Amino acid sequence: MPSIQTDGLTKEFGDDVVAVDGLDLTIEEGEIFGFLGPNGAGKSTTINMLLDFIRPTAGSAEVFGMDAQDEAAAIRERIGVLPEGYGFDDYLTGREYMEWAVETKGADDDPEQLLDLVGIREDAGRVASGYSKGMQQRLAFGMALADDPDLLILDEPSTGLDPNGIQHMRSVIRDRAEGGTTVFFSSHILSEVEAVCDRVGVMNEGRLVAMDTIEGLRESASGQATIELQCAEAPPRDGVADIDGVSSVDVAGTKLTATCTDPRAKVDVVKRVDSRAEVVDILADNTSLEELFNQFTGGGRDNDVEMPAGETGQRADAQEASP
């Protein structure tokens, strides 16, 4: 049975905003699923419907085969949630919050162990509202882990975390998933999802615009490539456009640029041009996963999607790309 299944799940706010638009989603048990999309894509609204914090306008959502609206209490017993922007605004210490989380879940976890796991045991005696944002995020994550839930729902979990905190959270997530926990993980940061998720769903303006494994997305991303050849003299354009897998050719001075729908055509382009004009430099640029994400989402609401390291294209030679 899937851990999460939605069928035509829709949420409208008033007459103007369709926050989630006919979402069909199936998340299998033990999966780490990345729910990706720019600001306002509908990720939190989807999560809020799964948790029955808000009600759908149409469609349905099931968690562990139980209806998210009718059986919300039974569902909550099996899940751990890290909501977006969890706030600690009263006088309890980190330790007291953790003890409270363990107690209300009826769990037998040792609060000290959970505090240790998320790296705030040393500060557990301090009032949590005085914690830094990252420390509060660690505490909220630890509280979500209490009672070893079957499903972890994490809304923008790395908010406020430093690189060490992000790495550590990833390793805890992987450990839990290896133990059978399903992880549903929302983010607008592609690299974050890429590092930890088995499968990714990309939301844009309330709709699921892509769903695949990271590998699958990568394969689609490598479907297009651009090659730039710097020649000693003006290269001939004719003949290059006729190569199978080349969709366009542009010549500017001594530089020839070819766009290839099939990346394997790049070699033929080099051979053809080099037979007529000496090629002195080659720049090859595969469409990156990042660009693919931007194609799906129109570049994000504020173009605020971060680049994953090493995903800005590949050069065929060792020199730095010119701007």
Ligand X SMILES: Nc1ncnc2c1ncn2[C@@H]1O[C@H](COP(=O)(O)OP(=O)(O)OP(=O)(O)O)[C@@H](O)[C@H]1O
Min. distance of Cβ 55 from ligand X in angstroms?
12
Least gap, CB of 39 to ligand X (angstroms) = 3
Query: Are the C-beta atoms of residues 263 and 316 closer than 8 Å to each other?
Result: no
Region label for 88, one of left (φ > 0), alpha (ψ between -120 and 50) or beta (otherwise): beta
Residues 94-123 close enough to bind ligand X by CB under 6 A: none
Which residue has 């406020």 as its token pair? 160
Owner of token pair 């509060």: 136
80/300 with CB nearer ligand X: 300
Q: Does 201 bind ligand X (CB under 6 A)?
A: no
30, two tokens: 């033990």
Instruction: Please identify, among the stretches 11-19, 63-71, 218-226, 267-275, the one whose residues bind ligand X according to the rule CB under 6 A.
Output: 11-19
Strands of the 207-213 sheet, one edge to the other: 79-82, 151-155, 182-187, 32-36, 199-204, 207-213
Q: Is 17 in the site for ligand X (CB under 6 A)?
A: yes
Q: How far apart are CA 235 and CA 253, in angstroms?
A: 8
Q: Print the binding letters for residues 34-63 with ligand X: x by CB under 6 A, - otherwise.
A: ---x-xxxxxxx------------------
169 close to 135: Cβ distance less than 8 angstroms: no
Options 188, 199, 266, 272; binder of ligand X; rule CB under 6 A: 188
Applying CB under 6 A, the site for ligand X has a residue count of 13
Tell the residue number behind the tokens 């976890």, with chain if given: 109
For ligand X, the closer CB: 46 or 287 = 46
Q: Write out the binding residues for ligand X, residues 221-250 only, by CB under 6 A.
A: none
Binding residues for ligand X, rule: CB under 6 A, are: 13, 17, 19, 37, 39-45, 84, 188
